[in-house]
Structures are given as C-alpha cells and as structure tokens.
Amino acid sequence: MPTDHIEAQIAFLAEADRLKSVLRASRLIDGSRHENSAEHSWHVMLYAFVLAEHAPEGVRVDRVLRMLLLHDIVEIDAGDAPIHGKVDHAAMAAKEAAAADRLFGLLPPSQAAEFRALWDEFEAAETPDARYAKAIDRLQTPIANLASGGGTWAEYSVTLEQMDARVGTPITRGAPTLWDWLRPQIAAFFARTDS
Amino acid sequence: MPTDHIEAQIAFLAEADRLKSVLRASRLIDGSRHENSAEHSWHVMLYAFVLAEHAPEGVRVDRVLRMLLLHDIVEIDAGDAPIHGKVDHAAMAAKEAAAADRLFGLLPPSQAAEFRALWDEFEAAETPDARYAKAIDRLQTPIANLASGGGTWAEYSVTLEQMDARVGTPITRGAPTLWDWLRPQIAAFFARTDS
C-alpha cells in the first residue's frame, strides 16, 4: 500500500469532519435546530437514490451520488450561502474555488484532480448527471418546508415568483416531472399563507 | 409519473429526516458535541469513496455507497448500539428487523424489497461489498478517536484486546490493508495511555 497516499487521504477525511459544524438556514423538519451541511449531504443523496425513477433518461445515479457526496465540502472554508439570502455570487464562487483548491488539494494529486473534476461538473450544471444532482439539491428544503409549516420561507419573506426563479428553474432543468409534482403544492401553500 | 409512487417516496424521505436526531456515542473530532447517525452516514460514504483503492479486488464501490447510504436508517426506531457498550445482540437484531419492516415499508413495494435486500446484505456481511462497507463503518470512529486524544475509548474503558476483537476483526475481513495500517497506531496510543 502506498503509505503517503493513505496519510493524505486520512488528513482529508479528518478535515471533512468540519462539514458537520457548517449550519444551513434550513431547520430539521421537527424544527428542533438548524440543519448542518454533512447531514444535508446524506439526505440529498437519499433523495437522489429514492427518486431515481423520476430522473430524465440517461442520468447515471451512481455518478450523481458521488457528486452529492462531495458537493458541499467547499463550505468548510466558504460557508453556506442561503438560497433566499442576499449573496454576492461572484465573490462566493471565488471563495468556493479557493476552498476546492485547498480541500481537494489535501488528497493525493490524481484523486484531487478526479474530485475537483466531479465538483466542477456539478457546479457547471451542464451534464444531465449534474443537472439532476442540482435539482435534487434544490428539492429537499421546499419539501421540508411544506412538512413543517413554511420553515425558511417566512423567515426570508419568500414569494412564489422567487420560488419559480430560484428553485423551479434548476429543478425543471434537471428533473422536470418532480417540479410538475411539487409546484402546485408550493403554490397552494403560498396562496393559503398570503391570505 | 405514478403519483402514488412519489407520495410514498416523499413520506419515506421525510421520515428519514429523524436520523439526524439519533445520537451516537462518538463525538465530532473537535469534541464539541456527539455525532448523529445521518452525518455519520455521509462521512462513512466519503471514507468508502476516498479509500476505494485499498478495497480488496472485486469490491464495487457504488454498491458499497448505496449500502452505507441506507445502513443506519433502522436506528430511527431501534436507536444506536455503541460498539463498546453492553448490548443484547439478539434483542437488538430483532428491533432492527422490525424497524426495517416499518421504515422500508413506507416505500413503494418493489423499492422496499430492493432497499431491504441491500440492508440485509450489509447486515449479513458475507459478500465482498458488504464486508468492505462494514470495515469502513468500523474505521471512522477509531480514526476520529486517534485525532481527538482518545474519544470514546476512555469513556468506555476500552482495551487493545477489545479493539482487536470488535474493530480489528471486521476491518480485517473487509479491508485488511487498512487494519495493517491502523493497528500499530492504535497499539501505540494504548501503550501511551496505559503507562
């Protein structure tokens, strides 16, 4: 076994432990506390696997799981940018790229390049696998919000138009039948709470 | 789209949120709090993916990731049994089987059967994929303990002989080169703390 390989891999895996302390804007469905990005990553992988039959033809779910496994690791350095918060997207992208350099750079070089390529593919959201991964990443929070009486929507004064733009657009690009199913429920919820 | 399918799938995914509130005996590496089983599941999937080159010939890492994604969901009903705690293993196995019936039973029938078969394969630890998955599941906590000055080892008064039996045996069965690498570090740690 190449000992220098495993030492580098273990250093990366130990550093990854810190993703458990990155908090997201969203809460657990029971409202008890904010969700962290490590448990969120597990949950979106479960979503991607369970809902695979609703993915467009040609999506390879195993590649999607690998992307989602890695997709938030950059938040260890860059933090989480709430989808409904005010964010300077160019500054955030630069911070995340620097985080990817440092964090994936802990791995042996060939593995660092492989992980970086997967993460870049996810971020670019151009391949069917990356689009499905992005769609699933956007799907989890609205479903939790519907199950818990609104969640982050009230906190950030979100409108249905914002939901269509920020959530509907990426879900439609990656998993259109899931947005067809979800959108009427979100519209009904916003109609009730606006009245 | 079969609407009854997606309703059942979303019910399962919402119920799975509760795994984020199941606490394990182990702590985060920074010691700040106990680890929960959802973030643990993410972390062991990352271990399995990063360390794949150390898996025995023939292990299919994508199947391993699917097993690890599902492996702890039964803890929503059955709770976590600490590896160094006093556990009635037959009673725990019966509780976990009942939990698998209820939780996977939330899914559409064909998917429930597929998930149950994956979980049963993991539990039986007889195939190379399941043995590697079990080895990785055992590997994460000792590495965290080494990184954080002992962690659960002191709390449970663990001995090196217990580590060889409870941790060394399953890691040797599923990923022997990883135990060859880890065992001397654990032995050195116990030698220091015994003196």
CA B82: distance to chain centroid? 11
In this structure, the number of other CB atoms found within 10 A of the CB of residue A61 comes to 19
Residues of A (156-185) whose Cβ lies below 8 Å from B: 177-178, 180-181
Q: How far is CA A74 from CA A38, A92, B38, B42, in A?
A: 11, 11, 19, 15
Pick from A16, A28, A46: CB nearest B69:
A46
Provide ipTM, 2 decimals: 0.96
A3-194 belongs to which CATH class? mainly alpha
Instruction: Using pLDDT thresholds of 50, 70 and 90, give the confidence band for residue A96.
Output: very high
Residue A3 has pLDDT above 80, yes or no: no
Question: Left if phi > 0, otherwise alpha if psi is -120 to 50, otherwise beta: which for B24?
Answer: beta
Tokens standing for residue A175: 């998993």
Q: Is 80 exceeded by the pLDDT of residue B194?
A: no
Residue-wise pLDDT for A139-184, tens only, equals 999 999 999 888 889 888 899 999 999 999 999 999 999 999 999 9
For A127, phi then psi, to 5°, come to -80, 155
Where does A33-88 have alpha helices with state H? 37-50, 61-70, 75-78
List the single best residue of A1, A4, A10 to mutate versus B (max B Cβ within 10 A): A10
Answer yes or no: is pLDDT of B195 > 60.
no
What is each CA distance from B155 to A9, B9, B151, B163, in whole angstroms?
28, 40, 7, 14
**H runs (alpha helix) in chain B:** 3-16, 37-50, 61-70, 75-78, 89-104, 109-124, 128-147, 152-155, 160-163, 169-174, 176-194
pLDDT score at B1: 56
For A36, other C-beta atoms within 10 Å of its C-beta total 23
**How many A×B Cβ pairs under 8 Å?**
124
Spell out the domain ranges in chain A: 3-194
The CA–CA distances, whole Å, from A4 to A8, A10, A161 equal 6, 10, 52
pLDDT tens digits, residue range A141-152? 999 999 988 888
How close, in Å, is residue B25 to chain A by CA atoms? Answer: 16
> What is the pLDDT at residue B155?
84
- Radius of gyration of the CA atoms of chain B, in A: 17
Model confidence, pTM: 0.96
